[in-house]
Amino acid sequence: MDPSAHILIVEDEEDLREGMVDYLGLHGFSVTACANGRDMDAALAAGAAPALCLLDINLPGESGLDLARRLRARANPPGVIMVTALGSTLDRILGLELGADDYIAKPFETRELLARVRSVLRRLQATPAAAPTAPPSAELPAADTPRRDQPALRFDGFTLDLERRRLTDSAGVEVVLTTMEFDLLRTLAERPNRVLSRDQLLDLAHGKEIEPFDRSIDIRMTRLRKKLGDDAANPRLIRTIRGAGYMFVPARAAED
């Protein structure tokens, strides 16, 4: 993780915004602060290239959800953490569906903010050599340990490039995935025909640094299936195993 990564904060509460800037700045990050979407656009136009954006959902004018949607449409989208009101489950769901990498609920401890920022940045900057491992509680049999010398995984016409962290279809067209979607797909594709519980998927793909709200894995799986063209009513690639979790069942899992 780059300790001096550039972070963009869009928060209309001045005291909170300044506190976030000061705290993250003390921990070595370069921070740009904005009060609304208009200020964010100006900062981006002036050359700001954030690795991560912290977006308050309840902003004057365009909401944080609107800004997240626009950021995700950029050529090189930054990571996104949505800042929500405590208990706003719907906002969190909408944020994840728009491709947010994480969320944090107000009021929050600054230490939690720092932990989530570092966690998302680690995932964004992850390399195949730094692949996460499962703790003992989610440990898989030795036969399920994935090979780390594979530059790509191929299945059903798709190619999952592990080094460049890209998914392309049979025509070579990139299927845009968020960081968490890529990590989930990689975790599944490296362990075909094995049932993985929701807890195992969180452990293997993201570690225990985040505490997603209940059923967030299901929301991400729904989004991932849609991008893979997997029929939600009768999925063939990512199957739901009732009461157990998920299983990746490719027609062909070729290895390089």
Mean pLDDT of 24-38: 95
Residue 7 has pLDDT above 90, yes or no: yes
Residue 46 has pLDDT above 90, yes or no: yes
pLDDT score recorded for residue 33: 96
Sheet containing strand 195-196, strands side by side:
195-196, 245-248, 238-241
Residue 30 in contact with residue 6, Cβ under 8 Å?
A: yes
Residue 211 has pLDDT above 70, yes or no: no
Q: Which domains does the chain have, with CATH numbers?
A: 6-124 (3.40.50.2300), 130-255 (1.10.10.10)
The answer for residues whose C-beta is within 8 angstroms of residue 99's C-beta and 6 or more apart is: 68, 72, 77, 80, 178, 181
Cα(77)–Cα(161) distance, rounded to whole angstroms? Answer: 18
Tell me the pLDDT of the chain averaged across its residues. Answer: 80
Mean pLDDT of 100-114: 88
pLDDT score recorded for residue 103: 85
User: Residue 254 CB: number of other CB atoms within 10 A?
Assistant: 11
pLDDT score recorded for residue 196: 84
pLDDT score recorded for residue 1: 53
User: For 178-210, what is each residue's pLDDT tens digit?
Assistant: 888 888 899 899 888 888 887 778 767 765 444
pLDDT band at 138, cuts 50/70/90? Answer: very low
**220, 190, 5, 233: which is closest to 92 by C-alpha?**
220
pLDDT band at 2, cuts 50/70/90? Answer: low
pLDDT score recorded for residue 34: 97
Residue 232 has pLDDT above 80, yes or no: no
pTM over 0.85: no
> In Å, how far are 74, 173, 188 from 78, measured between CA atoms?
8, 21, 24
